[in-house]
Structure 1
Amino acid sequence: MELLQQLIPPSPQLSNLEISERELLAVQVNLFNSGEMAIGVCFSHGVADVPTAVSDPKPTIFTQDCVQKIVVRRQEDSNSKGEALIWGASIAVARERKRAIDNMLYSHSMYYTMNLRNKMNPPMFPRCMGNIFRLVRAEWSLAEDDAIDVTNLVRTVIKPKRMGRDVMNNDEYLDFIKDLYEAWEDSRSFPLTSVVGLPYYEVDFGWGKPVWFSLGPILLPDIAILSSTSDGEGIEALVVMFKEDMENFEQETNIMAYASANPSIFIRK
């Protein structure tokens, strides 16, 4: 993690300067003796989001700050299934931690960022620049002896995504955002961002396509970012947790069954 942190520029968002004086974009080019190159990019969400940043001819992002990465094998609707697997394992870890403290259980929420470009009516141009996303929220409440069923979690993940398309064009959205912040305080929250399917492995400046893409830095615990593997056959999840929680997370049944912990970034095609 410390080595990879050296490949990205200091984030303008963490600057001590006033917001009006901060850089909107920072780029760091890293050259290696072997001839390879890594490009690290930090940008303000006031001017761009990830789909903007990876649209040709934008640079490849080669950034990472995480304590774990997991590759989930591709299945039908693999994005939502990958989210459900990770969220379910996170719920199990959090439930055991909470029981150890006071035997009370939280309700659990997952917050998901949804790219709106292809969901507007009519759809927006895929390369449209800006900060064009919204948050959706999935909630899961458990009784003390309830099992964590991944199939039900998948349905729970998919439902708010579909509902999100219905309310994003009306005045309910501002009330929805207020409800999100209130719910954040009342439940155990797990933010998740997915950039699966974006064309970051297609960016080519004439030197060849990138061998690995990642997002970061990740500064908060209990968060995950999903991205496609370079061969397009799997999903890579960068998961941040406290060390003791990560040890339990790795031992969760579904994680062990469907994931490979800390795989090589080089995938043979």
Structure 2
Amino acid sequence: MKRILLIGMGAGNPEHITVQAINALNQTDVFFILDKGYANDDLLRLRREMCERYISGDYRVVQVQDPQREENTQSYEAGIHDWHQQRAALFEQLIGDEVADGEVGAFLVWGDPTLYDSTLRILDRVLERGAQVFDYQVIPGITSVQALVAQHRIPLNRIGEPIQITTGRRLAQQAADEIQNVVVLLDAHCRFDALADSDLHIYWGAYLGTPDEILISGRLRDVSAEIMRVREGARRKKGWIMDTYLLRRPY
């Protein structure tokens, strides 16, 4: 039977990768790399560098264009559904064409495959379609959430307090007085700025674990404008940005 591995690659530092992930890399016959179309895609380069650094045997790399997600003006969920359908068809073709019976294929996933990444649910869709039969395994990785708090040298949780992990789109629906400890991912619109009049603190990081890492922290009202300025400058320079932040109410 064909085997597919979803390998968590960590947040960007090549040393974030686990021993289990290194072993998985060395079991793989073919790696599937999705090109998101950035002119300067360091993430593609880092994937290739990790393979060269940690794999001792032969392997193949198949790089394909990732389907672009179209904005659906009627429904965010419908747009995501359509995008996932396109990806499922692509994954089905890749597994059918590139992985022989008894071989191992792998998708290299930044962070951890179970946290705000669609690869796992898309593989389930491929299996539901029925054209390809395979077994798969998830190899966990260090997330941007872990990298963020480690680099800021703060605990993710304070004693007895809960942690919420959400998206920028969902954060826009929350009031400042509802926030205690909120980690936010996928915030392309700097939703934190709407809360800048509150007494919240922010711990923000971009390109975590990479040589281009940027860290800013402080009272939200004091650093909100700085984060937006620095973020936009970095995004324009590189053509893309990946950032994460923690909003925390002080004691």
The answer to whether TM tops 0.5 is no
- Say which structure is richer in helix: 2
